[in-house]
Structure 1
C-alpha cells in the first residue's frame, strides 16, 4: 500500500546501528533474564513517567492481570471494563477469578468516563480497568472519585499526557504494552506496570516471578511473566525517541485537519486537557464499512477494529448471557461507525492530502 495503516519500519530505521550494538552487547554479556538491561530500562521508564516504580512483564495482558491481583482482586469480585476496546483489556480479568462487567464509553472521546463506569458499579466491584483508547487518555482522576481502584490500561497511549501527567501514571497503577505496533514498541512482546505504591510494586515483582522473592521460597501462585534482556535493550534505544514520535503523531493529526478530512469524517475527540500521542487515527462515519472496503483499493490502509464489541464476543458469554449487560448505546454506535486510517510519526501533509482525496472519492461514490 502507498500509505499503510502502520509504518513500524521507517521510524526506527535511523536507529538500526544503535539497536544492533545494544543487542550484540547483550549477547556478549550472557545475561538474558532479569539482568542489567531490564533493571536499567525499568529505572529509565520510571523516570520518564514520573513514578517511583516500573516493573516489566512479558506482555500488556499479563500486566493488567498481575496489576489486578496485586490490588487484591479475586474470586467473587467484579471488575468494570469498557466493551469498546481490544479483547485483552477484558481477557485479563477472568484469570484473577473475578467477573468482567462491561460499561459504555463516551461517543466522542471513545473512552470510559466516571458516568459510564458509575452505571456499572455494584457492591461487588473491586476495580475498574480504564483504557486510554487509541492513545487518548481517559480521565482516570474522575473515575477514581467513585472510590474504586483503577487500573489505567495505557497500552495504546505511551507518550500521551493529561493535565501535564503522563499516561500509565494518571492513577494508582498503570499498565503498558510494548507490542511492535504500539507507540513504544519492541521487536516482540513486552509489557510493564507503573506505580508510586511501594507495597503494590513489591507484590507485582513477586507475582511476575512464580510468586517468589528468592527463587527458593514461593509465597503465591504467580506467573512466569518477564520482559527479556534483548527486548529491554531495544526499548532503551527507543524510549528517548518517544516524545519526538509523539510530536510527529500530533502533527499527523493536524495534517489531516489541514487537509480537510474532518469535514468528511469525525475524528476521535481528544480528552479535555490532553496532549495525545495517537496510537491509531480512528474516525467515525456512517459509511465506515464502505470506506473500509474502498480505501485499500486507493492505496490507503483502513481497518475496523472492534466491529463486534466485547460484550457480544462468544468468549464472554458465561458472564454476559441472559441479559446481564447494561444498554451500551455509544459502544453499539461506535462498533458500526469507527474506522482506523493511517497514523505514524512520519505521516506528511502530502500523505494526509492523499488519504483525504481517497475518502472524498469513496464517499462521492456512495452518494
Structure 2
C-alpha cells in the first residue's frame, strides 16, 4: 500500500539530529520558553520574511491568540464579524467563536478552493471587522485582491497559513501579506513537529508583544499578570526539532513541486479534475494534492483497490457541521460541491511509486463493473 503520508520515514531522516537536540535540551535543564524557542522564532521569522514570530501550542491557538490580542488592543470587540471560507477545516471558525466574534462564511473559488474575494465582499456587513482567508492545500489565496478589499474597508487581514509554509507569490511568502498570520506545526504539516505546535507571525510589534503575553498567562514578567491569558507555549524540545527540519524545508518544498508536476503532467482521465497549475511567479507549497471527481467515492475505492491510500479534505463544510447548526447560513453551493468531489492524493518528500498512483488514476473508469460496485 502506498501510504497517504509516511511520517515515520519523513522523521527518520533526522534521527541522529533529533537525538542530539534532545540531549542539548536535557543538558540545558530548561524546557519551556528558553533559548531553543527564541532561536526557532528568530529563524522562522527570517525564513518567512517578517519581523516577529511567537511560538504557541498549536495552530488553533495561534488564530485564537491573534484575535484575542486584537480585542485587547481595541481593534475588535465581542460580536464583530470575521469573514472566512466555508470549505476550510473547522479550526478556523472555532478560533473566531472562541474569541467571542462571529464567523461569517463565504464561498470559495471553485478553481482554487480558496476564498473568493467577490464572495467575501458580498458577505460584508456593517459589523465586518476582519477577513480571514485560508491558504488551503498550500496555495496562497488571492491576497492581492483581499488586501485591497481590506484596505478599502479598513478591515484587519489575518492569514490562516496552517497549510502554507513556503507558499509565495512574487517572492513574498505566506504569513507576510496581512496584519498577522497563524501557522500550525502539527506533525503532518510541511514543517511538522513531533507533537503539536503553532506560531503567530506579524510585523506589528505591539501585536507581537500582546500575543507573547497572552500565551504565557497574560504575563510579561513572572507573577505579574496584566491580562487574562492562557497557557499556550511551544516547548523547547519541539522548537529544537523544528529548527532541524526548517533547514531542509526549501529542499522538501522543491521535491513536493516535482511530485506535483509529475501528477499534473501524468494524470489524464476525463473523470478527474486536476488542481490549477501555479501561475508565473507563484509557488505552491503542495501540502496536499487535491483532485476533484463527480465519482469521488468510486475513485477513492478504486485507488484503494490499486494500493493507493487517499483522504478527503474536507467531507463536511463548516455550515453543515452540527457544531454550527444553530446559526443561519446563506447558500454556499461551491463549498458543498467541493465537499462532495475533492480527493487528496499522496504527496510528500521521499515518496516512491508515484507512477503507480498516476497509473491507478488513469485506469479509473466509473462505468466499469468494479467501480460501479464500489
- For the aligned pair, the TM-score class normalised by the smaller chain equals over 0.9
Shift of the alpha carbon at 1:259?
Answer: 2.0
Selected match of 2:348 from 311, 336, 344: 344
- Secondary structure at the counterpart of residue 9 of structure 2: coil
Residues 262 and 65 from structure 1, CA distance in 2 versus in 1: closer, same or farther, beyond 3 angstroms?
farther
Structure 2 match to 1:171: 178
Give TM-score scaled by structure 2 length. 0.92
Q: Say whether 1:241 aligns with 2:244.
A: no
Q: 1:362 to 1:271 in 2, by over 3 A?
A: closer
The answer as to 2:311 corresponding to 1:303 is yes
Structure 1 length as normaliser, TM-score?
Answer: 0.94
Are 1:118 and 2:121 matched, yes or no? yes
Pairs aligned (count): 360
Question: Could you tell me which residue of structure 1 aligns to residue 38 of structure 2?
Answer: 39
Alignment partner of 1:145: what SS?
helix
Map of 1:154 onto structure 2: 161
Unmatched 5+ stretches in structure 2: none
Report the secondary structure of 1:169's partner residue. coil
2:63 matched to which residue of 1? Answer: 64
8 Å Cα contact 1:31-1:229 kept in structure 2: yes
Cα distance in 2 for partners of 1:217, 1:270 equals: 52
Task: State the alpha-carbon separation in 1 of the partners of residues 58 and 226 from structure 2.
Answer: 23
Q: Which residue of 2 aligns with 1:54?
A: 53
Matches of 1:277 and 1:146, distance apart in 2: 25
Aligned equivalents of 2:123, 2:102: Cα separation in 1: 12
Q: Residues 64-143 of structure 1 correspond to what in structure 2 (within 5 A)?
A: 64-72=63-71, 73-143=76-146
Report Cα offsets for 1:76-101 as digits up to 9, x if no partner: 11111111011111111111111111
Could you tell me whether the CA contact under 8 Å between 2:271 and 2:294 is conserved in 1? Answer: no
Rounded to whole Å, the distance in 2 between the matches of 1:171 and 1:113 is 16
> 1:211 — aligned with what?
218
Q: What is the rounded CA distance, in whole Å, between the counterparts of 2:359 and 2:8 in structure 1?
A: 25
Q: Which runs of 5+ in 1 are unaligned?
A: none
* d(CA) in 1 for partners of 2:69, 2:310: 38
Q: RMSD across aligned C-alpha pairs, in angstroms?
A: 1.6
Deviation at 1:217, TM superposition (A): 2.0
The answer (yes or no) to whether the contact 2:215–2:233 under 8 Å persists in 1 is yes
1:224-303 residue pairs with structure 2 within 5 A?
A: 224-261=231-268, 264-270=271-277, 272=279, 273-303=281-311
The residue matched to 1:150 in structure 2 has which SS? strand
